[in-house]
Amino acid sequence: MTDQYNNTISRRSFLTNGAIAAGTIAVGGGVLGAFNLNSVRAADEVVQSWPLPYVQLDVEKAKELGYWGYMSSQCSYGAFDAVLSQLQEKVGHPYTSIPADMMKWGGTGGAGWATLCGALIGASTAINLVVGKDANTLVEELYKWYTTFPFPEYMPPAGKAGKAEGKLVTSACGSVLCHASVSDWCSVSKYRAEGKERSERCGRLTADVSAKTVQMLNAYHKKMFTPVLKNAESVGECMTCHGKGGTLENTRGKMDCIQCHDDVDTNNLLGHIKQQWNL
């Protein structure tokens, strides 16, 4: 935070004028009835303190919420709602002021672009809503788990499936990207990418991600969470040169490098360098 920020951004007056103590809830304007912009000015309001208060949630309920949230509004909404709606029910305000619909954009990895898996977009946001400085430790653990987990595990009760009944082929895709995750499952299962079975698979995957998220959040808030998973091997190898402090230091990230780049023989780095530089 710099002086420039304080000088130029009048929003800071929220934080300096309002007495926000850790563990207290900042309260809105108490507006009743029809919405009227003029009657709801922010001058006398303080911004919600963060992270929001957490209570232990139900893992099995998270699976159902994630699954049916997917069937209603895709993966990102499903995973976010699996956490949020339980907190709306158990805690109420301020969760009731946050609409799960705001995360719908994450469906199919971001408006259909198939970048970061939408279930992870929704789950990451849910985690960060209730976890402060340690949020990325949980998010990273979720991502590492995702890359190695053979989705889908969840199975709805017989006769109650949203898109397709029965057991589905599983695959661990090695990537957090929707594009790779779907392609890998289609390759293994032989189902079509826009078919009802693939959609069912993503619904069940959303249930699995939602459950894992709630398991981690419950453990973290009981001070029983310890990250245990490692990055893909290629990340450590490639980032020795390409990452922070490396000779090249020309990129960032923790996705498995060799899913998009050619594998490199670590016994022949000279050959790799020559190839990259056309020598």
Q: Segment 204-243, which members bind a second copy (CB under 8 A)?
A: 242-243
Q: What is the DSSP letter of 55?
A: -
Q: Segment 154-173, which members bind a second copy (CB under 8 A)?
A: 156, 160, 162
Of 17, 132, 169, 236, the one binding a second copy (CB under 8 A) is: 132
Q: Which is nearer to a second copy, 43 or 224 (by Cβ)?
A: 43
Q: Output phi, psi for 116, to 5 deg.
A: -55, 130
Phi-psi label, residue 170: left if phi above 0, alpha if psi -120 to 50, beta otherwise: beta
Name 244's Cβ contacts closer than 8 Å, sequence gap at least 6. Answer: none
Q: Does 135 bind a second copy (CB under 8 A)?
A: yes
Q: Does 40 bind a second copy (CB under 8 A)?
A: yes
Of 52, 155, 164, 172, the one binding a second copy (CB under 8 A) is: 52
Give the residue among 90, 171, 82, 159 at the shortest CA–CA distance from 119.
82
CB of 187 to a second copy, least distance (A): 7
Q: Which is nearer to a second copy, 74 or 208 (by Cβ)?
A: 74
Distances (CA, A) of 136 to 105, 128, 156: 21, 8, 31
CB of 106 to a second copy, least distance (A): 7
Q: How many residues bind a second copy (CB under 8 A)?
A: 112
Name 80's Cβ contacts closer than 8 Å, sequence gap at least 6. Answer: 69, 100, 103, 106, 122, 123, 125, 126
Q: Segment 67-106, which members bind a second copy (CB under 8 A)?
A: 68, 71-72, 85-86, 88-99, 101-106
- Contact range with a second copy by CB under 8 A, out of 130-138, 164-172, 207-215, 270-278: 130-138
Of 121, 205, 216, 217, the one binding a second copy (CB under 8 A) is: 121
Of 16, 33, 166, 265, the one binding a second copy (CB under 8 A) is: 33
Of 183, 215, 234, 240, the one binding a second copy (CB under 8 A) is: 183
Of 79, 83, 119, 124, the one binding a second copy (CB under 8 A) is: 124
Residue 159 tokens, joined: 């006769």
CA atoms 69, 168, 121, 209: torsion sign: positive
The angle formed by the CA atoms of residues 59, 65 and 69, to the nearest 5 degrees, is: 150
- 105/111 Cα distance (integer angstroms): 5
Q: Segment 243-272, which members bind a second copy (CB under 8 A)?
A: 243-245, 249-255, 260
- Contact range with a second copy by CB under 8 A, out of 120-128, 207-215, 218-226, 262-270: 120-128
Q: Which is nearer to a second copy, 36 or 267 (by Cβ)?
A: 36
CA atoms 235, 241, 243, 245: torsion sign: positive
